[in-house]
Amino acid sequence: MYPKKRAISPVVSTIIITAATLLLVIGILAYSQNLFQAQTADAEYTQAQNIYVNLADEIDGVSARQGASAYVRINSRAGGPAWVTSLDNMTATINIIGQTAYGNVTVLNSNVAALQYRAGSQIGTSSMMLLRGTNASGVVNNQYPLGRVFTNQSKGALVQLDYDRVGIVDLGYQNVSAGIAPFTTHAAHTAFDYVDFVQLNLINLTFGGVHGGATYIAATDTNLTVTYYRINYSRIAIPYNTSYQVQVNVTRSFGVFTDTYTLNITTGSVFDGDMGWACSPTCGPTTSSTQQVPVDIVLAVIQPQVRIDFLGG
């Protein structure tokens, strides 16, 4: 006799097949959800790069007008904006080569903050990639925009916007009226100042706060400070040199690194309004004179305060 063999009942088979199918569906759904979240976070991170570049353009615009403001909209599902209170310290000094009286005069000393976007936990990036501006501590004659935007990997992927650099602009030589003097007198040549205007720009970012979320990032120019310095050219050496050099020394990384930027200031031969003066046999003007005259520097240090606010929508 043969032992009886019993098959698995249809009910048990159905339960096993259903359970296996259910586990497979759950696995597929979990994978799909994870893939969707990763794709969403990656899209947000890419979008944040473009938004921060646009925001830097807006900050450049509002920084020239006190009271002006602008905003951008940002997605903050997987990641979101973050504020760095003390990124660096920026110091700038002025030094005229060969004139010890104007050696290393401090004209700027300011804390530097930064705005970041922290990507979602599933996003990573490799080395630093510059999206806007330059890594240099100084920008001479508007060669690059002051605002820098870059991506980097530091405790996760991030986008950073900062103004950790000084703009140095030589506006050129100007003949400025210093008053009115009779043209037929010897005082006529003192009626003009010969100056070269140099401008230093540093945009200071400050944090206003979070107001109901972070759907929008607003930038507002709350204050525009302009400080003037008159740096007199040494009048000891006669004849005057045809040119001299002004150094702008920019120190950052909390005093660790210093970069030097040099401007060439030309004195040149100019007609200074002096007709010449002689008293033989009688006092009166002689022929016109074109003289080598000293050129001073008028330094304007411009520091806009741009407040950053996170706003809900």
Write down the pTM of the prediction: 0.77
Asked if the structure places residue 3 within a domain, the reply is: no
Number of separate domains in the chain = 1
Asked if the structure places residue 51 within a domain, the reply is: yes
Check: CB of residue 163 under 8 Å from CB of residue 112.
yes
Asked if the structure places residue 6 within a domain, the reply is: no
pLDDT of 6 over the 70 cut: no
Asked if the structure places residue 17 within a domain, the reply is: no
The string of DSSP codes covering 249-285 is EEEETTTTEEEEEEEEEE--EEE-S---EEESSSEEE
Question: What rounded mean pLDDT belongs to the chain?
Answer: 79
Mean pLDDT of 46-52: 92
Asked if the structure places residue 12 within a domain, the reply is: no
pLDDT of 301 over the 50 cut: yes
pLDDT of 27 over the 90 cut: no
Range 133-136, long-range pairs (CB < 8 A, 24+ positions)? 133/56, 133/165, 134/165, 136/165, 136/259
Helix (H) or strand (E) holding 19, with range, is helix 10-62
**Residue span of the structural domain in which 94 resides:** 34-311
pLDDT of 291 over the 60 cut: no
Question: Which residues, 6+ apart, have CB-to-CB distance to 108 below 8 Å?
Answer: 90, 91, 92, 166, 200, 202, 301, 303
More confident residue, 288 or 294: 294
Check: CB of residue 44 under 8 Å from CB of residue 120.
yes
* pLDDT tier at 215, thresholds 50, 70, 90: confident
Mean pLDDT of 211-240: 80
Asked if the structure places residue 271 within a domain, the reply is: yes
Mean pLDDT of 287-295: 58
Lowest-confidence pick of 87-101, 145-159, 274-288: 274-288
Asked if the structure places residue 285 within a domain, the reply is: yes
Q: What share of the chain is helix, strand, coil (3-state, %, to 5)?
A: 20, 50, 35
Asked if the structure places residue 1 within a domain, the reply is: no
